[in-house]
Structure 1
Amino acid sequence: MTTTAAVSCLGREPLEDARLRLFCFHHAGGGASFFSSWAGRLPPGVDVLPVQLPGREARYREPRFQDAGEVVGALGRELAPRLDEGPWAAYGHSMGAMVAFALTAARLREGGRPPEALFLGAYAAPVAAPTLPPPDRYDDRELARLLVDFGGLSPQFLGRDDWLRVLLPILRDDLRICASHHRAGLPDPDDEWARLPLHVEAFAGADDPLVRPDAVRAWGRYVHSFRMTTVPGGHFFPRQAPDPFFGHLSPALARLLAAPGAPPAAPG
């Protein structure tokens, strides 16, 4: 896809006085609004910056991506100035986990500023079985029912063909992104020398019907430092069981703010 974005992938300018920027990457079929409540749950000094892919929400008029390599390349070019300005971390949920990891891998190859940590949720490492189905396995009715079954769609959508005609093409293109992860420049999980010098914290929902915790745990094969946490809830545990999830994420971010070399807090 070749497109000139009419709207930035960030909905606003980063806060100048933030001590840590947290770039958040949404799930397949979703958008930046998934992270709308996060700022109030995280430590002061963390600037939550949801990343919006084109073709949905505020960018609904723009052509969508269908290829993981193109997504990573476009985000890398747009976000590079922001990622180089100061300390940052990233959280990616489901498809967003793969996008966040591939973007970070590209940054490291290019000599860009690395993240303080990378947080990945509800997505199997590429070396494991795929988290999400191929884009064309199900017809529209079957795909909509699957979304309802794992909590990605309200049952009220099943009777609304007009809504599904908008939603399902977005989801199918996002599934194409997931299926093309081999074009995103990920390291070889079987090569210990290719492991990235990063700290990754991964989260899995204990009741997730799409991805098992051991498949999420396989992200540890890609990096030097890894921690895995299983939290209550299904595939969308940040919404289904937010307190346990943020009970882990918030302290992890607080530790980054307290680490030696972290920017000082702004004067009160």
Structure 2
Amino acid sequence: MTRNRWTPWDSATADGGGMEAVRVYCLPHAGGSAGSYLAWSRSRQVPGLDFVPVELPGRGTRMVEPPAASMEEVVDGVLSVLAARPEREPFLLFGHSMGAQIAYETTRRLVAGGRPAPRALVVSGCRPPGSPVAMPLHDRDDDELLKGIVELGGTPDEVLEHPELLAMLLPVMRADLGLLARYMEAVRPTVLPCPVVALGGEGDRLSGPEWIGGWGSVTAAGFRRRVLPGGHFFLHGEVDAVMDEIARAAGEHAGAAG
């Protein structure tokens, strides 16, 4: 099977393999790669869920490509992946930080195009659409950009300790934050027909508990929020809880939004 560059670790075939599982497309944070979810894709902790990491241009297995210049470009790629799957196959979208906005915009585009929506949208560590930009660092110099990244946490020490790795990370991070800022300034939130689950870290200074409840305004179906221990990258330390919430959303809304 030829791998789709957007989903390099997708084990299901395009002719209906994995139909018994609910597929969870996992979208990364700014500067992040599909590798953030590689362990999830190999885990059998949650039977019935097939976690599919999504790789954006400019990082990971697509490092030789330039980063995406717009949210439209990213969402077009995700939509192309979904279009290659069986139309009635159940799926969820999960995104952390910038990934949550990608997941929301993908869902909005699916609905606008009359295509099946995800069984549920699960967003993590992110302000709802229409909120002020949380991290306007894309137009700052490298030192200020790096300081902002370090303060958020979540960047491996081996990256911070090696200038050559930082030289690769900073342009991608700058491009992602610019993409996100332009999107957040332009987006006009619409109400989705699928349920939304919003997760946040109790110590997240960017998108903490005071923000995540706002996601309830973008759904006409069920909404649930949950605050977990940790900062902006709380999901790294709360993987079991995050997976449980995804599994709960998949089970609660079986048959929804198809």
TM-score, normalized by length of structure 2?
0.86
Match of 1:100? 103
Report deviation, 1:81: 2.3
Aligned to 2:201: 205
Residue 117 in structure 1 maps to residue 120 in structure 2: yes
Counterpart CA distance in 2 for 1:182 and 1:206 is 23
**1:232–1:249 distance in 2 versus 1, CA, 3 Å:** farther
- 1:41-87 per-position Cα deviation (integer Å, ceiling 9, x unaligned): 65212111111011111111112102112222232234322272511
User: Which residue of 1 is the match for residue 166 of structure 2?
Assistant: 164
Task: Name the CA distance, whole Å, in 2 between partners of 1:83 and 1:209.
Answer: 40
Q: Partner of 2:28 in structure 1?
A: 26
Asked if the contact 1:25–1:96 (Cα under 8 Å) also holds between the matched residues in 2, the reply is yes
Given the superposition, is the C-alpha separation of residues 55 and 7 from structure 1 closer, same or farther in structure 2, using an over 3 Å criterion?
A: farther
Partner of 2:52: 49
Q: Which residue of 1 aligns with 2:91?
A: 88
SS of match in other structure, 1:229: strand
- Equivalence for 1:253: 250
Question: Tell me, which stretches of 5 or more residues in structure 2 are unaligned?
Answer: none
How far apart are residue 36 of structure 1 and its match?
1.6
Q: Does structure 1 retain, via aligned residues, the 8 Å contact 2:197–2:225?
A: yes
Q: What secondary structure, in the 3-state scheme, does the structure 1 residue paired with 2:84 have?
A: helix
How many residues get paired?
248
Distance 2:87 2:145 in 1: 40
Alignment of 1:232 with 2:229, yes or no, is: yes
Answering whether residue 8 of structure 2 is matched by residue 8 of structure 1, we say no
RMSD: 2.4
Q: Which AA in structure 2 matches 1:24?
A: C
1-structure distance, mates of 2:131, 2:83: 30
**Aligned residues of 2:23 and 2:51 also touching (Cα < 8 A):** yes
Q: Secondary structure at the match of 2:227?
A: strand
Question: Aligned AA for 1:90?
Answer: L
Residues in 2 aligned to 1:165 and 1:118: alpha-carbon distance in whole angstroms: 34
Aligned-residue offset at 1:251 = 3.0
Instruction: Please say if residues 91 and 100 of structure 1, whose CA atoms lie closer than 8 Å, have aligned partners that are also in contact.
Output: yes
Amino acid at match of 1:255: E
User: Which whole-Å CA distance do the structure 2 matches of 1:130 and 1:51 have between them?
Assistant: 23
Distance of 2:87 and 2:123 partners within structure 1: 21
Percent identity for Structure 1 against Structure 2: 33
Amino acid at match of 2:194: L
- The CA deviation string for residues 133-171 of structure 1, in whole angstroms up to 9 with x for no partner, is 24113x212222222221132345444322211110010
Q: Give the deviation of 1:205 after TM superposition.
A: 0.5
Residues 1:36 and 2:45 are matched in the alignment: no
Q: Give the drift of 1:128.
A: 2.0
What is the CA–CA distance in structure 1 between the aligned matches of 2:46 and 2:252, rounded to whole Å? 10
Residues of 2 paired with 1:168 and 1:46: CA distance? Answer: 33
- What residue ranges of structure 1 are gaps of 5+ in the alignment? 1-5, 189-193, 262-268
Q: 1:224 to 1:142 in 2, by over 3 A?
A: same
In structure 2, the CA distance between the partners of 1:89 and 1:37, relative to structure 1 (3 Å rule), is same
Letter in 2 for 1:198: C
